[in-house]
Amino acid sequence: MSDTRRIQEAIDRCTSGHAVELKASGANTIFLAGPIALKPGITLLVDAHSALFASRNPRDYDIEPGSCGVVASRRGRGCKSLITVADAPGSGIMGDGSIDGRGGAMLTGLEESWWDLAKRAKVMDQSQSVTRLISVNHSDGFTLYRITLRNSPNFHVSVQQTNGFTAWGVKILTPRTARNTDGIDPSSSTNVTITHCYIATGDDNVAIKTGAAGPASHITVADNHFYSGHGMSIGSGTSGGVHDVLVNNLSLEGADNGIRIKSDRSRGGLVENVSYQNVCMKDVTNPIVLDSLYTTFPGDLIPVYRNILLQNVHSLTPGYVTVRGADPGHKVSVRFENVTINGLKPKYISSENSEGEIALGDGGESSRACANRFVPFPKLPLAPAAAVKIPEDDHVLYVAADGTGDYYSIQRAIDVAPDTGAVISIAPGTYREVLTIDKPHMHLRSPYEDAGKTVIVFDKSAGTAGGTTKSATANVLGDDFIGENLTFQNDFNAHHPQVPVGSQALAVNVTGDRAIFRNVRFLGNQDTLYAANKHCEGCSSSRQYFTRCFIEGNVDFIFGDSKAIFDHCEIRSNVHSGGYITAQSRIGAGQDSGYVFDHCKLTADPGVDRVWLGRPWRPFAKVVLLNTEMGAHIEPAGWREWHPGETQSLETVYYAEYDSTGPGAHPGERDPHTKMLTAAQAAGYEPQKFFNGWTPRH
């Protein structure tokens, strides 16, 4: 039976300056409640042997009927918090007992927990409506003391527009795999003290935030120990300004991040006079992150980081360092004094638009400086703990342009992925970056079938990059790559005229073996897709499989010398005066190379005509078209010499067709060098046979 009503009645009847105590009685040690609200001057005291458990029924937390415990595309919160402290100055929560949000317990009427909802929202890049543990708003002088907070479905403590907030001796323990479970988040608040706390959670251990509600200032985070989590953060919202922050005597062990300031152009502001002193870290992936481009969101709220001091900061283990200003006019102003990272390598440092050098030591003295600084998470009180299912480790790396994933940059996720490969899930959005995928077994995917939702685009060209193969938006160099539900685009010609020299602009350069592209769009004009071999001594031909893909361009837009099959793909010729679909480049009759198009459709933009199936970039080019539907834009001859009147490559090429259909088929008008295959000959180009025993996974 719920204790919500009697707890709330006790709070309502209590007079200012007094407390409502939750005290065990014999074997009765658990209080079960839905949302409750503290009043001014009232303290909620949880006895050492007692625990307050949150209700598992989403309906108890509804702001509107059915608004809580759901995953939806629209942003916004549909849940009340377990404990709301609104306009209640002088109130507090304390005691040696615990408050347990039961984030990993199955919800009433559902087959999911709060944490499962959060995970599903992350995978689908949607928004979850789940309850928070404690929300403090406009409640000056609020105090948390000694209390243990566990298993929050979302943020543990959210503090808004409060002057005088203190968290002293608080323990927060939630699995590192529980999403969005920030520890303590003071937002647009001032005179904040967080001290002698122990925080292990699944998101920011502490995050200072601001927005339209005003600045966050005069904040001290001192003598704390952080474990799993996303570290000591400022941001990502900083538009209200953050100033006068001291982080002192902090240890971080096993966190994803250490010291982090994060913001972007959509919600940036001035962050100044921030000091990090006497900080010790180990097993922290990113010890230092000062990033003004945390997401790619556009806007004119440009982050400014000024007068940032890191003094006596040490990491006993290697990790990544990022210091990145928004642009040359908005550099990160940071000073490093006695900052060391053991095992740091130059490739781990990323610095752009930063004032001064990143002066990091080699870590020789860090062990001495951090002696006895790391302590085990303390024993929890005797209060009972809720039975929860801890989310399994998810080895997928999540990328989201809006910063809600693990990374906002795809390349950053590739860089930190294991050398043995990883799955990278990319949320819908536009990612303007160049990718180099040189690790094997990398799998890039979007969770949505509409490949147009997730676009990876850049605008290099042969003229600007120093060569055609250097112009690619994505370079797939490692073996066993899989890409699905994505768009790779080079939009150079959207801003520059397409001229005969220098306009080659690759969407993708793929040379890896056993590469698979499923439901991928390749957008460009000249030289859109370079499907080629590695050209290394002893290397066999690279096998590449494209299924249900869309490839557009106009001149030689599928070219190279790999061994590739295009299965049920649409090949679209866009606007240009004439064009060529393929420019295959097998260099000798003995080279194991060639392109096969099976059950594809050759289409064109309105008004496009005089398109050839291909021309031989090298004298022994090999292209086979099977069961392919061809539009009227295809020239009757089908194939053309590389330089008519100058080259005679059609004498040595292998151009073949089987059962072509549509107005562009013209079986009786093809160039006489074209081979018309029998059904038995066409069967030799099935994937397993053509790929020498490798069968792509559909």
HSE-CB of 525 using CA atoms within 13 angstroms: 22
d(CA 690, CA 468): 28
d(CA 689, CA 680): 13
The closest of 597, 594, 544 to 569, measured between CA atoms, is: 597
Exposure string (b/e) for 526-535, b if CB count within 10 Å is 16 or more? bbbbbbbbbe
d(CA 167, CA 181): 17
Are the CB atoms for 49 and 29 separated by under 8 Å? Answer: yes
What letter represents residue 367's amino acid? Answer: S
The closest of 537, 421, 429 to 476, measured between CA atoms, is: 421
Burial class (CB in 10 A: 0-12, 13-18, 19+), 393: exposed
Q: Where on the phi/psi map is residue 545: left (φ > 0), alpha (ψ -120 to 50), or beta? A: beta
Tracing tokens 């005290």 back to the chain, one arrives at 23
Alpha helices, DSSP H, located in 332-438: 366-369, 410-416
**What are the residues facing 85 on neighbouring strands?**
136
Tracing tokens 């005179």 back to the chain, one arrives at 191
Are the CB atoms for 148 and 381 separated by under 8 Å? Answer: yes
203 is catalytic: yes
The closest of 386, 433, 382 to 407, measured between CA atoms, is: 433
Length in residues, the chain? 698
d(CA 437, CA 657): 34
**What are the residues facing 546 on neighbouring strands?**
517, 566
Are the CB atoms for 652 and 622 separated by under 8 Å? Answer: no
- Among residues 3, 125, 203, 204, which one is catalytic? 203
Are the CB atoms for 3 and 31 separated by under 8 Å? Answer: yes
- Among residues 47, 125, 156, 230, which one is catalytic? 230
* Spacing of C-alpha 690 from chain mean position: 37
Q: What are phi and psi of 492, to 5 degrees?
A: -55, -45
Are the CB atoms for 638 and 670 separated by under 8 Å? Answer: yes
Quickly count: other Cβ atoms within 10 Å of residue 32's Cβ. 16
Are the CB atoms for 634 and 674 separated by under 8 Å? Answer: no
Burial class (CB in 10 A: 0-12, 13-18, 19+), 311: middle
Are the CB atoms for 485 and 448 separated by under 8 Å? Answer: yes
Burial class (CB in 10 A: 0-12, 13-18, 19+), 364: exposed
The closest of 695, 124, 128 to 450, measured between CA atoms, is: 124
Report helix, strand or coil for 298: coil
Are the CB atoms for 490 and 462 separated by under 8 Å? Answer: no
Quickly count: other Cβ atoms within 10 Å of residue 588's Cβ. 10
87 is catalytic: no
d(CA 340, CA 287): 10
The closest of 531, 519, 611 to 572, measured between CA atoms, is: 611
**Active-site annotation, residues:** 203, 230
